[in-house]
Chain A
Amino acid sequence: MATISIRDIRKSYGKTEVIHGVSLDVADGEFIVIVGPSGCGKSTLLRMVAGLERISGGTIDIGGRVVNDLEPRERDIAMVFQNYALYPHMSVFDNMAYGLKIAGKSKDEIRQRVDQAAAMLQLEPFLDRKPRALSGGQRQRVAMGRALVRNPSVFLFDEPLSNLDAKLRVQMRLEIKQMQRSVGTTALYVTHDQVEAMTLADRLVVMNAGIAEQIDTPMAVYERPATRFVAGFIGSPAMNILKGSVSGSDFALEGGGKLALGVEPVETGRPLLFGVRPEHLQVATAENAALSLSVTAVETLGADTLAHGTLSGANGAGGELIARLPGSAQIAPGDTLPLTIQDGMTHLFDAETGQRV
C-alpha cells in the first residue's frame, strides 16, 4: 500500500518560511500533479518527499511510515529529474541497473527487469549507448526506465518534460500517463505547465507562494476555482476578472456599467471580483445580450478567434475582456459585439482575500 500522507508540511531557509503548512493525502495508485508558477515551492515540496531537503515542520509518511528522518534510499521512492541526471560515464543499461546492483539483485534478475523496462519504453536499441549519444526524448525515457526498474512505492517527477520541445512534450505526456496506469504506482508530478497538469492529473494541487490554494480534480479546479489565483492560473487565455461589487441582483462594475448575475446575490457593497472565462462568452443578439464588447483587437487562431476589447459602458481601466469565439466568426476591430454568459459559468471572488464567494 503506497499512500502518501503530507501533514502540515513547512519548510524554512534560515528565518524565511517558504512553505506554509501544506497538507495532502494521496491514495494508492493516484497520479497527483503539483502545479504553480516559478518559486511557488512545488519543487521544494517534492524534494522534501524525496528526502533531498530537510523538513522544517510537519510530517510526511509513505505507505504508513513516517519518513521525515529517513535517507532517500530508505524511502522506497524513485525520481525523474528535470535534466534527467543520467550517469554520463555509464551505458543506458548500467544507468538503469545501478540501483538494482546496489540492492544486491542477481545478474539475471537485473537483466530481466532492465529488459522489461526497456521494452516498455522502446529503449532496446540503445542499451549499450552512453547518454551523450541519445536525443533529449530518449534520455528522458532512460530516466524513466531507471525509475521503473526499481519498482518503488512512489514515483516522483520533477518537471521532467520542461527541457523537451513542444511536440515531444505532447507525446511524452501521454507515455508517462500510460506507463503510470499500467504499473499502478502512486505518482507525484511537479510542473509549471497547466496543460500538462490538467491532462495528467487524477487530482491537482495548485500552489502559490508556499500555500496549496486548491486540491481537487482537474475539472473541479476548472469549473469551481477556489481562489482568484487558481481561476487565473488554470485555463488559457486566463479568466476575465472585473472589479466591482454587488448591487441588487447585478454586479456593478467599478468603472460603471452592470452585469446581470446568474447567482444568488450576496451582501451588497463588498468589493468583489467577477470572473468569467473567455470560452464561456457567446455571441448573442442585441436584445438578450448580457454585455457589449467594443472590439479593439482580433486574434485568429483557426479553430478559435479571440476578440480583445473593452466593455461598453465601462469607463476607464478594468473593463478589458477577452472572448473566445468560434473560428468562423467574422469580427473586426471597431465592432461592437453583444455577448451572453453561459449559464452558471460566472465566478465571484472576494477582492481582498481572493477566496471564492
Chain B
Amino acid sequence: MQLAYIARRVLIFLLIVWLAATLNFFLPKLSGEDPVRAKLLQSAQLGGYVQAGLEDMVKVYNQRFGLDKPLWRQYLTFLHDTARLDFNYSIANYPRTVGQMIAEAVPWTIGLLGVTTLLSFALGTFLGALLAWPGAPRWMRWVMPPLWAMHAIPFFLLGLILAYLLAFQVPLLPIFGGYTAGAVPTLSLGFIWDVVSHALLPALSIVLATTGGWALGMRGMMVTTMGEDYVTFAEAKGLKSPTIFIRYCLRNAILPQTTALALALAQILSGAVLVEVIFGYPGIGALLFQAIQENDFFLIQGIVFTVIVALGFATLILDVVYPWLDPRISYRRES
C-alpha cells in the first residue's frame, strides 16, 4: 500500500517535469519566430552590432530545431536535450551556457529560500499554536494585527520599504548584491559575514512577510483541532495542559499545516524571485530578471524549467514525508 502511494507521487512528479518541458517547447512557437533570429534582428536594429557567436548559434539552433524538420522531430529532440540538462547556450552571454549560469545562481537562492522558509515556517507555526492556546500570555494578542498586516503585503513591497529604512535612511545593511563587489570569495570569517549581511535584508523581507501567514494558518488549524472530541476526552482524562497542547492539538494541527507548506512553495518562490530582483541578490530570480532584460530566451527557458522541476521535487519529498506524520494516510486509498 505504501509503495502504491509513493509510486503515484513519483508519477505526478514526472508528469510535472514533462509538462514543464512541453510548455517550454510550445510557448515560443506561439509567436511563430525563433528567439535566436529575433535577437539577431534586434541587434541589427540597434545599429549593426552583432553579438559574437550568433552565427554559430543560429547554426546549432537550426540543427536541432530547424524549421525544415517535422514538428514531432523537433519536440523529441527538445525532450532529449532537456533530459540531458542541455539548455543550449545563453544568447546574451555566449559562450557561457545556460547550464553554467544557472549552476552559479542556484546555491544563492537555495541558501536564501531554504533558510528563510524553514525559519518562518517553524517560527510562524509555533507562534500560531501559542496564539490559539487559551493559556497563552495576554500580550501575545497584540502580535496578531501586525502579523496580519505583513501577511497581506507582497514580499517585494516589504523589501522596498525595508531597503529604504535599513539601507538608505540608516545605512545599516548593504542593499545590493550577494557580496561586496570585487571581493574575492574565500572561506574567511570576513567574507562569510559579508555574504550574510548582504543576505539579511532579502531574508528579512521574506521572513517578515511569510511568518504572519504561517502563524495565522496554524492558529486556525489549532482552533479547529481544539474543538475536536478527542481533545475534550483528553481533558477528561486529566492530562496536563502542555500534554494536551503538544500531543493532542499541535500534533494534529501540524498535518494540514504541512500540506499548506507543500502548496505554498510555488508562491514563496515567486515572491522570492521578486525580492532578489529588488536587492540584486545573485540568485535565480535576479538571473531571470537579467535574462528578461536581455531577451535571452534560452536562459529564461532553462530557469523556468529548473525551478518547476525543483519545486516538483520538493513537493514530492513533502508528499512522501506526510504519511510518516499522519498514520491514516499510508493505509487509506486516496479519497
Tell whether A pairs with B: no
